[in-house]
A and B are shown apart, each in its own frame.
Chain A
Amino acid sequence: MMQDEQDPKTTEESSIASRPVSRRQFLKYAGLAGAAIGASGALGGILSACGGEEETTTTAAPGTTVAAGPTPPAQDKFVIGGARPISGMYAMFEQAHFGPAYKIWVDDMNAAGGINIAGKKLPVELKVYDDQSDLDTCMRLMTKLMEEDKVDWLLGPQSTAFLFAGAGLAQSRGYVLCSAEGGATTLEAEMAKGSLPLFFQFLNYSNHYQLPVFAEIMQELGAKTVSIVYLEDLHGIEYSSQAQLFFPSAGIEILSSTSIPFGIKDVSSIVKKWQGENPDVVCGFVYPEQYILVLQTMIQLDYNPKAYLAGPGGSTEVVYNVFQGAADGIMFEGAWSPKQSPAAQAYYEKFIAKVGDKANVDFWGPLIYGAELEFIQKCIEKAATLDHQKIAEVLRTAHFPTIMSDDMFMTAQILDRSCYAGQIGQWQNGYPQVIDPGAKRTAEIWYPKPTWKEAAKSSTSSTT
């Protein structure tokens, strides 16, 4: 404590009682009084605001509500808004995943004269802001799109965490939000509570139904043991914990489950551990940066499990090409194949034209996004209104054919399992094949997969 000063509290109290107030003191008290008035006003506000459970914002409902019969909206365009990662660490998703999909959608709608709302075709306009791959910025821009720009439709944000935050935000403003690159089991619990009636999940994920299908495939192949490496992020933690549920119930023993952080530079100890464990299958619930590192290490140590399941990015040809064909036989979370149907092939070609290079095409999300956006458009047109509550009702119950499925529909606000082109894929001679059990399988499974050396020699590495 400072020894050479008087106690200011004592001095102040006595001076107030006995002496005229100085200019300095007056200013202090005036400032405090002003602050107190402001604080009391604000306190009143917060108390009253705390009393209400719901948003009082009245700008929530976008567009016009049709009271009876389809009445065309007065507006002359349909504005689609989005806060997307044009820059930052997630920019690749905007460039090569959901980004091209929604741009193709808008191009197609405008080529057809616009979106048909109650008999009136409205040209579609895009209003997309850069969220810089930052959640704070993304939420602020989504709020701006809904409250200030009052867009007619909102695109889903990138990544599961953004989607989780965005779902609640859109719900509070009365906007429907459909998933883009994201989805996880934790959101199901919120939906089950009924707190997100305007949210719809299209992309597949761990328990919906990638890991159950993968467990079925392993059972079919007679695999008995698995070792797992996963990243300490939402995806990795989710998939590893879901594996703990689905693998043992399919009779597959998990020998080890090892977490790794972002930025890891050496996984040789993990690969050596697998060599000791000798599992039938290795699952890598990691992103391309770690996936490349893990595979390079396995190749260097000449460790060849019978099967390897790759996480996000394992489904893109650009990542496959890193290994010059040695990745043939790798399984991936996904999945679709251009030759599954003429519609899938046509969409694949359209996608290449949009992204400029076939190496940038992903065989997990794009077909789902294309079908999702087509489905959304049909639901909006069927609702014949821009009222999001009514559009949500149609989304919940409608059945429409799309490029991915002859009968696309939602079950409890999540795309039904039957609608997906596939859940698990495998690279075979540089070509993505769907290996789900049943009719969706496009090729027999390579099991055990070729060794790294065999695959590198035999691969032709060509998708087209």
Chain B
Amino acid sequence: MNIKRLTPARWAASGLLLVVFIVLSLLPTLTQGYLVTLLTDILRYVVLTVGWMIFSGPTNYMSLATAAFYGVGFYIAAVFNGPLPFVAVIIIAGAVSFVMALVVGALTLRLRGVYFAIFTFALTLMVTSVVLEVERVVTGTRGRFVVTESTQTAYYAMLIVTIVTLVMAVLIRRSRYGLALQSIGQYEEAAAHSGINVVLTKVMVFAASAFVMGMAGAIIATRRTYIDPGIAFSLNTSFWPVLMALFGGMGNLVGPVIGAAVFTYLGELLLTRFPDLYMLIFGVVLILAIAFMPRGIVGLAEQVWGKIRGGRGAPA
């Protein structure tokens, strides 16, 4: 093993990652309060943001279909949780979202730019209407009760899905699919001419990102007791991950993770401490972030770190 080639920073990063996962794994045994609920929510957004980043980050295709795949997970949980084990429900939710994304992707990923964004937005609206209509005709009602899971169960399930998402994101990024996606993002025609099966690559990665979104939806649904199409397919779910990724920085995977965590916690803090000024402060923070941190929090941190290191190395 060529351990000598590891820099101290890499050692620290690996160690930190390990410690974070261990702490997160042990957390419910250390605290049983609201923190676990809040962390589940943060992890939910980490999954959605990283899931969104897997596809939209390198390709520059702005997907607004997150709510559609996430909402499908809600409905899978509403139908199957209870009759089937929770773990099976989560996997089914991911699989159904995956298949749905395969079908949708195969039909639409020839679209580009704003057309693709509008289509994915319309997809969410269409799925909402279809589910609403099916419920009205078949069940004669609008919503469904969901068999709930405990806070701990939901937390651990979301932690596992988060790990799966991050590992999947790293593997895709470092695989030939990752390179292909970057090529597509930079110059799609050139990528196609160089032998990359552009449509297949996009569809597979789009479906992979939908897989984790569906799983996240299934887990969160079990904490909501009752769902209806408006709740399951809320358009906020499509927009928040985009903002979180921008806020954290889209240059690497750390950015979306930090963006999702800070964004969720900041929102919670402002909403409960400054309810009257919440939207104002949040809006100002977002505008400042986009205006002065085009590479997000991580980009700013890298910039500051670079200046510090540059300052140290500069001649006196």
Contacts and interface: CB of A to CB of B under 8 A. Distances in A.
Given A57-B32, A59-B33, A259-B136, A42 B163 contact: yes
A26 B2 contact: yes
A380 interface: no
B25 A45 contact: yes
B34 A148 contact: yes
A37 B160 CA distance: 11
A163 to B, nearest CB: 8
A166 B226 CA distance: 8
A64 interface: no
Contact of B148 (A4, A28, A172): A172
A8 B163 contact: no
Given A8-B175, A137-B271, A20 B225 contact: no
Contacts of A23: 2-3, 5-6, 10
Interface stretch (B92-100, B166-174, B302-310): B166-174
B156 A45 contact: yes
Contacts of A221: none
B5 to A, nearest CB: 4
Nearest to B226: A164
Interface in A28-61: 28, 30-32, 34-35, 37-39, 41-43, 45-46, 49-50, 52, 54-59
Contact of A147 (B24, B33, B141): B33
A358 B160 CA distance: 55
B236 interface: yes
B107 to A, nearest CB: 21
B313 interface: no
Nearest to A235: B142
A144 B37 CA distance: 8
A164 B141 CA distance: 13
B79 interface: no
Interface string A1-43: 1111100100000000000111100111011101101110111
B268 A140 contact: yes
A165 to B, nearest CB: 4
B2 A22 contact: yes
Contacts of A460: none
B26 A41 contact: yes
Interface in B1-53: 1-3, 5-6, 10, 14, 17-18, 21-22, 24-26, 28-29, 32-34, 37-38, 41
B145 A164 contact: yes
Nearest to A59: B33
A137 B231 CA distance: 11
Interface string A152-179: 0000000001001111110010000000
Contacts of A209: none
Contacts of B14: 27, 30-31, 34
B interface secondary structure, majority: helix
Contacts of A5: 176
Contacts of B2: 20-23, 26
Given A2-B197, A38-B25, A232 B174 contact: no
A130 B275 contact: yes
Contacts of B163: 35, 38-39, 42
A234 B228 contact: yes
B234 interface: yes
A49 B141 contact: no
A211 interface: no
Nearest to A43: B160
A406 B215 CA distance: 52
A87 interface: yes
A56 B37 contact: no
A144 B272 contact: yes
Given A34-B21, A43-B156, A141 B271 contact: yes
Interface of B: 1-3, 5-6, 10, 14, 17-18, 21-22, 24-26, 28-29, 32-34, 37-38, 41, 85-87, 129, 132-133, 136, 140-143, 145, 148-153, 155-157, 159-160, 163-164, 166-167, 170, 174-176, 180, 194-197, 200, 220, 223-228, 230-231, 234, 236, 268, 271-272, 275, 278-279
Q: Which 3 A-B pairs have the closest CB atoms?
A: A38-B21, A41-B25, A168-B225
17 contacts: A1-B200, A2-B197, A20-B2, A23-B10, A30-B14, A31-B14, A42-B156, A49-B150, A49-B156, A55-B151, A57-B150, A59-B32, A130-B278, A135-B231, A137-B271, A161-B142, A234-B142
Given A27-B14, A190-B145, 13 more contacts: A3-B195, A34-B21, A35-B21, A39-B160, A41-B21, A49-B155, A52-B150, A147-B37, A165-B224, A165-B226, A166-B225, A172-B150, A234-B228
Interface of A: 1-5, 8, 20-23, 26-28, 30-32, 34-35, 37-39, 41-43, 45-46, 49-50, 52, 54-59, 86-87, 129-130, 132, 134-137, 139-141, 143-144, 147-148, 161, 164-169, 172, 186, 190, 232-234, 237-238, 241, 259, 261
